[in-house]
Amino acid sequence: MREQKLTTPVSKEILANLACGDEVLISGRIYTARDAAHKAMLKMAQEGEKLPFDPRGAIIYFAGPSPAPPGFPIGSCGPTTSSRMDPFTKTMFELGIAAQLGKGPRGKEVIQTLVDFGGVYLVALGGAGALLAEKVKKARLLAFPELGPEAVYELEVENFPAIVAIDSKGNNIFKN
């Protein structure tokens, strides 16, 4: 295990050097999206519309942040179960994302997609949403405000901690 710093957008070359079990500290912009936002973005892509953010090299964080208390950019923002996003994963990587960030294991199709596209799956510590929120320096609503906490947010993060759960070669922390 190594500790590595990632700055978004992330290149395929950087991803290729990450190994299953590596600890990463993410800085830059990441984008939240859960089930409903993925469905909406999939529809946009199918209709030839641009996504609410540039997907090239992006990290999508499976989270639904709580409202920001006074003086803070965001409330608690822990990861949600990633397997619910499995049906959308291939399309998102086809659109150019670099990585997904959530919690829990992923299906075989997702692992194959990561290998095919040179992507990685990162996990954040579940139950630590308040601690993770401390790493968020700015938050901005980008799309789908009607979805409430499931809207797409752009989070500017600094040293946001995660672990490489599945690397670009298909090595899987849940199977090792």
Specify whether the CB–CB gap between 34 and 83 falls below 8 A: no
Instruction: State the pTM of this model.
Output: 0.96
Can you tell me whether residue 41 is helix, strand or coil? Answer: helix
Mean pLDDT for 134-161 is 97
Structural domain that includes position 44: 3-14+22-166
Tens of pLDDT, residue by residue over 15-72, are 999 999 999 999 999 999 999 999 999 999 999 999 999 999 999 999 989 999 999 9
Torsion of CA 52, 142, 55, 77, to 10 degrees: -150
Q: What percent of the chain has pLDDT over 90?
A: 93
Asked if the model's pLDDT at residue 126 lies above 90, the reply is: no
**174 within a domain of the structure (yes/no):** no
**CATH number where 118 lies:** 3.20.130.10
pLDDT on residue 26 = 98
Q: What is the pLDDT of residues 67-77, one digit of tens each?
A: 999 999 999 99
pLDDT of residue 142 exceeding 90, the answer is: yes
Outline where DSSP puts E strands in 8-151: 23-32, 59-61, 99-102, 120-123, 136-143
Domain-embedded: residue 145: yes
Q: pLDDT, tens digit, for every residue of 89-100? A: 999 999 999 999
Residue 103 covered by a domain: yes
Q: With respect to residue 171, please indicate whether it lies within any of the assigned structural domains.
A: no
Q: Enter the tokens of residue 2.
A: 């190594």
The total domain count for the chain is 1
Q: Is residue 172 part of a domain?
A: no
Distance, CA of 17 to CA of 112 (rounded, Å): 18
pLDDT of residue 1: 73
Q: Is residue 155 part of a domain?
A: yes
Classify residue 176: in a domain, yes or no. Answer: no
- Percent of the chain's residues with pLDDT above 70: 99
State how far the alpha carbon of 72 is from the alpha carbons of 59, 140, 165, in Å. Answer: 22, 12, 30
Task: Determine the pLDDT at residue 176.
Answer: 58
Whether residue 64 lies inside any domain: the answer is yes
* Residue 151 predicted with pLDDT over 80: yes
**pLDDT score at 58:** 98
Q: 122 in helix, strand or coil?
A: strand
- Of 60, 164, 166, 58, the C-alpha closest to 109 is 166
User: Catalytic site residue 38?
Assistant: yes
φ, ψ of residue 32 in degrees (nearest 5) = -85, 145
Please pick, among 29, 34, 38, 135, the residue that the annotation labels catalytic.
Answer: 38
